[in-house]
Amino acid sequence: MPVQRISLFCNVLLLLAMLVSPVSVYAAEKTEADADLPLPFEEIVCEGSYPRHLQGVCYDSKGNIYWCFTTTLVKTNSKGHVLQQIPVANHHGDLCHVDGKLFVAVNLGKFNQPEGQADSWVYEYDAESLRELAKHPTPEAIHGAGGIDYHKGRFIVVGGLPDSVQENYLFEYGVDWKFLARHVLPSGQTHLGIQTATFHDGMWWFGCYGKPEVLLKASSALEYQGQHQTSCSLGLIGLAPGRFLVARGRTDIDKKMKGAKLVPAVSTREGDLKWAHK
């Protein structure tokens, strides 16, 4: 085959690959802009092992990462080296960072049961010292508060769900912790409800357990946008447009202690997430 035809054939194949690939080219490659990201766009392993598994992650503008291991709250630097840790009540769930404070969804009662058996709260901590500052009751989360995030003056709390219920609930609070509204996601039944909540790229992302696990999406107005078979139930961090860090669990050899790590992911044209391989 003449050289010109070989070159043309290769170019056509490259163009087709770019068109059918679900991931935008910029998102799958490391760029100079990565230097400005709050956290490195690469795998980050949390130092140490803990009695319970990871429930959620968040970060601050200094590049510190906060990992909630159910009964242990851990603060690391951007490389995963532990700076501080404290024991916390069972069950501390997903968390978020707002203006130098951590807000953690906490249930001291039973999860995934009919109304009256949960004991739902949001605990507030100083992000610098991990000192407890306040406890905010969230009784509206009747099946157990398990996840939280913040966007434009409002907190969204998510949590458990009985097996018989075919929709998920989002509980909206103001910064003064006054209850504002309950929103319904017509998602169908998701195993044990919603575990993690993240606002990023103008959307709400909700990680759920299940076989397979699913990722629910909602608009900024909390209107249901659909779901994908993606595992984000242990935590999700939005870094930059189209870029995420997704939490993954680790189990020690004796299977008694748990660890965690973050792995880079990119959004696809279909609105799903795909792991970034560099």
Whole-model pTM over 0.95: no
CA distance 195 to 187: 14
Residue 38 phi, psi dihedral angles, 5° rounding: -65, -25
pLDDT at residue 36 in the model: 79
- β pairing state of 120-126 and 154-159: unpaired
CA distance 61 to 65: 10
CA distance 109 to 112: 10
Mean pLDDT of residues grouped by 10 in the chain (278 residues)?
44 41 42 77 97 97 98 98 98 98 98 97 98 98 98 98 98 98 98 98 98 97 98 98 96 82 96 84
Question: Of 89, 88, 91, 87, which Cα lies nearest the Cα of 107?
Answer: 91
Encoding tokens for residue 137?
């009751």
Encoding tokens for residue 42?
């690469």
Q: Which long-range contacts (CB under 8 A, 24 or more apart) does 62-69 make?
A: 63/38, 63/39, 64/127, 65/39, 65/262, 66/95, 66/97, 66/102, 66/127, 67/235, 67/260, 68/92, 68/93, 68/94, 68/95, 68/104, 69/258, 69/260
pLDDT at residue 230 in the model: 97
pLDDT at residue 252 in the model: 74
pLDDT at residue 34 in the model: 75
pLDDT at residue 16 in the model: 43
Domains, the chain, ordered by start: 22-275 (2.120.10.80)
pLDDT at residue 52 in the model: 95
Give the strands of the sheet with 168-174, arranged side by side: 145-151, 154-159, 168-174, 179-185
Q: Please name the amino acid found at residue 121.
A: W
CA distance 264 to 262: 7
